[in-house]
């Protein structure tokens, strides 16, 4: 990470305490489009970018396009090494990360399909819905982070 920081002239500060792995990038794209998030000055990764924003008083990082369990686990490990205290990601990947690293983790499950669409393809909802979910995750993270700090 130090080499990336030097090459990109990034700040040597921890990433936000709560980081969201946005598997398809829809959340990050919407935040960037709305001007609600800005590029991180501390995320030192060759493969991904991070956007940061403050939600309910908590600084959050969003790392887009982290689809794939092994890749998500790799990014979660980098986030943990960079100072993240809570990482929200798909449950199976989060479990694998916690087991492999021995990290204390909190899980937030998101089920977005309504009973009316249960036979259809999985739907993560529109941008407004994703923002409400992000706010709920931030509120849950406040409790978790208060407990681990």
Per the model's pLDDT, the better-predicted residue between 40 and 147 turns out to be 40
Q: Is residue 149 part of a domain?
A: no
Model confidence over 36-56: pLDDT tens digits? 999 999 999 888 999 999 988
Whole-number pLDDT of residue 47: 85
Decide if 112 contacts 125 (C-beta within 8 A).
yes
- Among 11-20, 70-79, 105-114, whose mean pLDDT is lowest? 105-114
Q: How many helices (H) and strands (E) does the chain have?
A: 5, 5
Domain count of the fold of the chain: 1
Q: Is residue 63 part of a domain?
A: yes
Model confidence over 115-143: pLDDT tens digits? 555 566 655 667 777 777 778 778 777 77
Q: Is residue 69 part of a domain?
A: yes
Model confidence over 79-115: pLDDT tens digits? 888 988 777 766 556 666 666 667 665 555 555 555 5
Q: Is residue 148 part of a domain?
A: no
> Where in the sequence is the domain holding 20, given as residue range(s)?
2-142
Q: Is residue 96 part of a domain?
A: yes
Q: Which of 39, 49, 48, 93 is nearest to 69 (CA)?
A: 93
Whole-number pLDDT of residue 73: 80
Whole-number pLDDT of residue 4: 84
31: domain CATH number is: 3.40.50
Buried b (16+ CB within 10 A) or exposed e, 4-28: ebeeeebeeeebbbbbbbbbeebbb
Decide if 65 contacts 48 (C-beta within 8 A).
yes
Whole-number pLDDT of residue 104: 62
Q: Is residue 56 part of a domain?
A: yes
Q: In whole angstroms, what is the distance from residue 53 CA to residue 136 CA?
A: 15
Q: Is residue 136 part of a domain?
A: yes
Q: Which of 54, 45, 47 is nearest to 16 (CA)?
A: 54
């Amino acid at each position: 990470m130090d080499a990336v920081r030097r090459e990109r002239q990034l700040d040597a500060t921890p990433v936000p305490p709560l980081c969201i792995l946005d598997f398809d990038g829809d959340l990050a794209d919407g935040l960037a489009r709305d001007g609600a998030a800005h590029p991180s000055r501390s995320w030192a990764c060759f493969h991904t970018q991070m956007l940061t924003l403050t939600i309910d008083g908590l600084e959050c990082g969003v790392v887009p396009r982290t689809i794939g369990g092994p890749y998500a686990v790799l990014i979660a490990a980098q986030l943990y090494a960079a100072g993240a205290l809570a990482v929200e990601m798909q449950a199976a990947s989060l479990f694998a990360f916690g087991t492999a690293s021995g990290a204390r983790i909190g899980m937030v499950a998101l089920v977005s399909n309504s009973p009316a669409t249960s036979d259809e393809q999985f739907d993560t909802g529109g941008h407004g819905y994703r923002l409400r979910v992000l706010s709920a995750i931030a509120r849950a993270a406040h409790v978790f982070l208060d407990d681990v700090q």
